[in-house]
Structures are given as C-alpha cells and as structure tokens.
C-alpha cells in the first residue's frame, strides 16, 4: 500500500475525529457486552485501517443499521455518520490507488 500524501484530508479526519470517535464507540459496545474486557486493538494510521478494511466496513455497516453500539451508548448527533462517511472515503481512495489514479 502506498502512503497517503502529507496533509491528506482523510488522514486529518482520522486523527482528529474518526479514530477518537470509533475507539469510544467500539469500546462502549465491547464494555457493555463484556464488562471485564481490555482494549486490545488500536489503529494509529489510515494505512492500518486500509490493511484491515473489512473490519472498518463492518463497523460502518453496523453503525448505519444502528446495530452497534447498544442504544444507550449510541453517539449523539452526526458522529456515527462521520465515521460512515469517512469509511466510504477511504474505500474510494483505495479504489483509486488500485486503479493507479493518485490524483
């Protein structure tokens, strides 16, 4: 996988919004189901997300269908939609890369 250019909006959104939100959403779902659970998976870059994209696509689907997290932990406002939209943007970027279009 080729690294994204510096200051890429996808990277910026990941660092500033998506990673903190997703960590909280996922953790609240895990903690609700398994109270003694320990955080084990953390993502530190968009490259890590792209390498494990199937998991993120599933997260976006579950957020979209409101399957996850449990209703009392569901994010307020458009936070879930921000993650859903970002996952779609990562997918589009990866498709461009695979096609050889770096623009």
- pTM for this model (two decimals): 0.76
Per DSSP, the three-state class of 3 is coil
In tens, the pLDDT along 77-98 reads 788 899 999 999 999 998 988 8
In tens, the pLDDT along 16-64 reads 988 888 887 777 777 666 666 555 567 888 999 999 999 899 989 988 9
Note whether residue 4 is domain-resident.
no
Note whether residue 65 is domain-resident.
yes
Structural domain total, the chain = 1
Q: What is the pLDDT of residue 75?
A: 77
Read off the tokens for 75: 């994010």
Domain region containing 67: 9-32+42-99
Note whether residue 48 is domain-resident.
yes
Farthest-apart Cα atoms in the chain, separation? 46
Note whether residue 13 is domain-resident.
yes
Note whether residue 87 is domain-resident.
yes
Sign of the CA dihedral 15, 13, 7, 42?
positive
Interacting residues of 81 by C-beta distance below 8 A, sequence separation 6+: none
Note whether residue 2 is domain-resident.
no
Read off the tokens for 39: 């955080």
């Amino acid at each position: 996988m080729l690294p994204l250019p510096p200051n890429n909006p996808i990277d910026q959104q990941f660092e500033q919004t998506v990673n903190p939100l997703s960590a909280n959403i996922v953790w609240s779902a895990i903690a609700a189901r398994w109270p003694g659970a320990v955080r084990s998976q953390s993502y530190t870059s968009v490259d890590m997300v792209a390498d494990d994209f199937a998991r993120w696509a599933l997260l976006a689907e579950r957020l979209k269908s409101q399957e996850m997290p449990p209703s009392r932990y569901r994010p307020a406002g458009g936070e879930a939609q921000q993650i859903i939209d970002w996952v779609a943007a990562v997918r589009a970027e990866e498709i461009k890369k695979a096609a050889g279009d770096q623009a």
